[in-house]
A and B are shown apart, each in its own frame.
Chain A
């Protein structure tokens, strides 16, 4: 499935709205993991965590076609920690919702799979975009390692990727990843 369809249907499954570019990027990242479509989505270990230009392009296309609106709150500046100060909220338009609904009806298997993924994500509970970003980084590092790691070891890996991540942030993100069923914590 192409990134455009994944972004469109994920937004629809989330109720048509998502708050913040970072949250959108990381949400699609986790949906990509659950639907086994991460390679199609083109995520790379960017400075702000796993990031996909293809997802950004998909958002631009949805906006260009009039299926998605973006509203900006704040100054538009980037803080020293690398997180956005301005918040960009995205909302599917009525047309965007209707087309997504039709797409979902015509592709029940794909829709079911995406819905399961989004449901799993929702059940893990709400976290803000900064924590979600750390969770995405943590999961990315664990995947790359392919073996268990302590939060100190993960901090070390984060530094080598240019990410400033503290042990307590990683520990908090681990509990979110546990709720997602992506990691198992051992004493």
Chain B
């Protein structure tokens, strides 16, 4: 069968059939060349300029390798590679940053009941696969529907589903190696070939499930450690956090304070064709140009984006694990970014800005002072995800959970998952000594401001 070979920096030669190349050549996929995989991580890791497009090709390749390792038939292999090629088409500018903005500005009351709890970018992905004319022309409506079900709704053959979305899926197998390579770090390296060689389909509840054989346990240990290290060292790097939060704050200010219509059209989701048509026109470069270089004059969102372009970043002025706060504060802190708590968050940011203004002897803009919380799962918890645990097949016996079968992981204390609070602000220091002096002075003040206000957050629950 005729095929095209691409030279891929991670997997070397990767092959695509002509039908797949026709799918890859569609505008809706080519658009992913304009969306960087790690948003603005290149401001700290200069090599991290790879795109969703490169990753998409890699995921399709890995999905095919997994299908081969599991002995799936040609039809299943083709289908799972098509699904992999389409899995990221719903990404907006700066990838995951757009996901947050879309969720924040969506009017969920306008969504049908079955979509109310869905993440908006997943609704967009599902819609594009089901309704984008060029994709339907290539794959046919029925295949498009099946792919959308597999990716967005988790419906379909469990093994195929696990290849595209599961604890060992092709997405993670590719992005760990790719992000590691392009960021120039070695944290994401693991033995992908041994991992794939150990994959096996076993019957569970009369249905096939993807598991690993015992000879794959060490490769999976490496894979999970890679995920953990890459999370702590790249995805949660402080500069990466700052740049992501600056883009998010720029979007919020642009829509809520500056009244920028194009930003609102991009991020206020509507299930209408005009929303999708507009959404597909955007990528990272257009976003930076339209809302930064050529943004609305004197708008705060424009100023923030211009700071990103010139790498005049906000500084991290506070950092602490949530567990260092008192019980009342730590229980509540992780909900500080929820919409119901926006007033309290703004109060905290305003007070911190005032305190910083006094200490740094400058006017610190409250809107550019950002309180942010995030979690890093413990390495043991990283072996699971929302979909399922990894199962280890044991001939003639019940499968075991990976975290119990691995000697390394069974000895790791689960307790050490952590949640962190950080504050970023537009301040400057001339050298590390001045930085240390300033931060030593403001840290207890900021901690007290956060604690005092966090205690007033309601512990609201719904059942």
Contact A162 B463 (CB under 8 A): no
State whether A109 touches B327 (Cβ < 8 A). Answer: no
Q: When the two chains form the complex, which single residue of B331, B381, B414, B419 contacts A99, counting CB atoms closer than 8 Å? A: B331
Listed A/B pairs (20) with beta-carbon separation below 8 Å: A1-B462, A36-B463, A42-B386, A53-B385, A53-B388, A53-B389, A60-B381, A63-B414, A64-B378, A65-B331, A66-B323, A76-B410, A78-B404, A82-B398, A103-B331, A106-B459, A107-B460, A110-B461, A161-B204, A162-B205
A51 (CB) vs chain B CBs: closest residue: B389
Q: Does A165 lie at the interface of the complex (its beta carbon under 8 Å from any beta carbon of B)?
A: no
In whole angstroms, what is the CA distance A44 to B207 when docked? 14
Q: Decide: A64 near B459, CB < 8 A? Known: A53-B389, A57-B381, A78-B400.
A: no
Give CA–CA (A114, B416) in the complex, Å. 29
State whether the Cβ of A175 lies closer than 8 Å to any Cβ in chain B: no
How far in angstroms is the closest Cβ of chain A from B118? 14
Interface contact B461-A60, CB-CB below 8 Å? no
Complex: chain B residue closest to A61, CB-CB: B417
Enumerate B363-395 residues with CB–CB distance to A below 8 Å. 377-378, 381, 384-386, 388-389, 391
Tell me the minimal C-beta distance from A143 to chain B in angstroms.
14
User: Do A99 and B463 touch (CB < 8 A)?
Assistant: no
Interface string of B443-463 (1 = CB under 8 A from A): 000000000000000111111
| Distance between Cα atoms of A45 and B322 in the complex (Å) | 34
Number of inter-chain CB pairs below 8 Å: 93
Nearest-neighbor residue (CB-CB) of B416 within chain A: A64
- 14 further interface pairs, Cβ-Cβ under 8 Å (given A64-B415, A103-B331, A114-B463): A2-B461, A36-B463, A44-B388, A46-B389, A47-B391, A53-B384, A54-B386, A64-B323, A64-B417, A64-B418, A95-B327, A99-B327, A99-B331, A102-B328
With contact pairs A109-B463, A113-B463 given, residues A64 and B419 touching in the complex (Cβ less than 8 Å)? yes
A80 within 8 A of partner (CB): yes
CB-based contact B328/A99 at 8 Å: yes
CB distance from A120 to the nearest CB of B (A): 15
Interface extent on A, as a size class?
Answer: 35 or more
Chain B residues within an 8 Å CB radius of A151: none
Q: Which of B281-338 contact A (CB under 8 A)?
A: 322-323, 327-328, 330-331
| A57: B residues at CB distance < 8 A | 377, 381, 384
CA A5 to CA B460, docked complex, whole Å: 10
Q: Please, how many angstroms separate the alpha-carbon atoms of A80 and B330 in the complex?
A: 41
By the criterion CB–CB under 8 Å, are B461 and A1 in contact? yes
Q: In angstroms, how far is the closest chain B Cβ from the Cβ of A112?
A: 10
CB-CB nearest in chain B for A102:
B459
Within 8 A of B (CB), among A43-77: 44-47, 53-54, 56-57, 59-61, 63-67, 70, 76
Which residues 100-157 in A have Cβ within 8 Å of B in the complex?
102-103, 106-107, 109-110, 113-114
Give Cα distance in the complex from A53 to B401, angstroms: 11
Q: Which residue of B lies closest to A82 (CB)?
A: B398
Given contacts A5-B461, A82-B398, whether A66 and B416 have CB atoms under 8 Å apart is: no
Say if the beta carbon of B206 comes within 8 Å of chain A. yes
Query: Of A106, A113, A162, which one neighbours B458 at CB under 8 angstroms?
Result: A106
In the complex, A46 Cα to B460 Cα: how many Å? Answer: 31
- Give min CB distance, B117 to chain A, whole Å: 10
